[in-house]
């Protein structure tokens, strides 16, 4: 007998909006200069990029794609939380946080670490990017577990 997974599209949409806002803050005012330093990007590079209409258009398209990816992430995390609840009987915020944390540790950390191992990224870059995804997933877990 198939089980129907409850999916709240408003909660998933809220997760997408939250993700863009968090990314703006994380890679902007909070850690933007450090992130640019890890990537070897200067403020002059940023000014040249912003002056180019094609680059700005590509950046806007990337924001749209990032939003879609965040929606997919929230949709999948909703399923992880439901499966986790069925398996551990842990629901509510603790279930949302646990589903998010295990997903981060099992899927995001190994993937991001590949950037250090194979792309010569610094461990500081790893910490900054992995930290963003941890906070993003934890906030998604809270939103999804509360907005049922």
26-77: per-residue pLDDT in tens?
999 999 999 999 999 998 988 898 888 998 899 999 999 999 999 999 999 9
Cα dihedral 133→137→138→141 (10° resolution): 180
Tell me how far the alpha carbon of residue 32 is from its chain's centroid. Answer: 16
Q: How far apart are CA 62 and CA 104, in angstroms?
A: 22
Domain range summary for the chain, segments of one domain joined by +: 9-146
Among 60, 57, 77, smallest CA distance to 15 is for 77
- Region of residue 89 (left: phi > 0; alpha: psi -120 to 50; beta: else): left
SS3 5: coil
pLDDT-derived band at 7 (thresholds 50, 70, 90) equals confident
- Both tokens assigned to 47: 């000014």
pLDDT at 2: 67
Query: What pLDDT does 97 receive?
Result: 95
**For the chain, what is the mean pLDDT?**
92
């Amino acid at each position: 007998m198939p089980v129907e997974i409850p999916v709240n599209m408003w909660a998933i949409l809220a997760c997408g909006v939250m993700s863009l806002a968090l990314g703006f803050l994380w890679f902007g005012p909070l850690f933007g200069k450090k992130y640019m330093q890890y990537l070897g990007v200067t403020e002059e590079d940023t000014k040249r990029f912003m002056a180019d209409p094609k680059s700005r258009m590509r950046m806007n398209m990337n924001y749209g794609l990032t939003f879609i990816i965040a929606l997919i992430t929230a949709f999948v995390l909703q399923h992880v939380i439901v499966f986790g609840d069925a398996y551990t009987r842990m629901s509510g915020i603790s279930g949302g946080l646990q589903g998010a944390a295990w997903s981060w540790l099992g899927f995001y950390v190994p993937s991001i670490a590949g950037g250090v191992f194979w792309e010569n990224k610094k461990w500081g870059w790893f910490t900054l990017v992995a930290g963003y995804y941890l906070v993003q997933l934890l906030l998604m877990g809270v939103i999804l577990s509360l907005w049922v």
